[in-house]
Amino acid sequence: MSVLRPFKASDMFKFNNINLDIWTETYGIGFYLSYLSRWPDLCCVQEAPSGRMMSYGTSPQRPLYTTHTHTRPYTVLGKAEGMGPEWHGHVTALTVAPEYRRLGLARKMMNLLELVSDEIYKGFFVDLYVRCANKVAIEMYEGMGYSVYRRVREYYGSLGVGKGGRDEEDAFDMRKPLSRDPNRRSVRPNGRDMIVSAHDVS
């Protein structure tokens, strides 16, 4: 049986098994501490019976859940940001250990972040950035109702021009409207054609 519990600062010394992945952005300790201090209700840990850290991510302001499964090594880290109709939940990192992919774990954590962003933070939408080369993740997010809002040039740095004449380190800004946006103003149909510089996004 695994347990979902609040994230502690000391957990940063135990998450390498779920944080080290080719598609995952990793950050310095100060970055994680800032999330923990500003959005503690969006930070939690999934822990195995052995005490091994399996994931870290979002948690609603409700009692913690217990699941009747074994290890669930996945991670999602989020925050709330923006002003006015741009107020939204943001997925900073989402990772599932390779041996546990395609089991619906990422979808479960995304559903949790969307719930918190909608019901507690009253956001208009949830957004995330994903490498344009990460086709598997893009298809997963599209299957969950996200669509491309814009392409951000060199968001992850620059590796040079790749296939199709575009930089492999570009990102898609993908969004999904929440209940406060019934007219779907936070999304657009031609997002792949809207190209902005990394300097234009906050």
As a whole number of Å, the CA-based R_g of the chain is 17
Mean pLDDT calculated for residue range 19-28: 72
User: What pLDDT score was predicted for residue 201?
Assistant: 85
Domain boundaries, the chain: 3-200
Indicate the pLDDT class of residue 38, thresholds 50, 70 and 90: confident
Q: Which amino acid is it at 201? A: V
Query: Out of 71-80, 152-161, 185-194, which region has the weakest mean confidence (pLDDT)?
Result: 71-80
Q: What is the pLDDT of residues 85-126, one digit of tens each?
A: 999 999 887 777 676 677 777 787 788 789 889 998 999 999
User: What pLDDT score was predicted for residue 70?
Assistant: 33
> Cβ contacts of residue 139 below 8 Å, gap of 6+?
none
Alpha carbon distance 181, 83 (integer Å): 14
CATH fold of the domain at 3-200: Aminopeptidase (3.40.630)
Residue pointed to by tokens 């943001």: 90
Indicate the pLDDT class of residue 13, thresholds 50, 70 and 90: confident
Indicate the pLDDT class of residue 165, thresholds 50, 70 and 90: low
Q: What six digits make up the tokens of 47? A: 């822990």
**CA dihedral in degrees (167, 126, 10, 31; nearest 10)?**
50
Strand pairing category for 44-47 and 53-57: antiparallel
The answer, as to whether pTM is greater than 0.75, is: yes
Would you say residue 180 has pLDDT above 90? yes
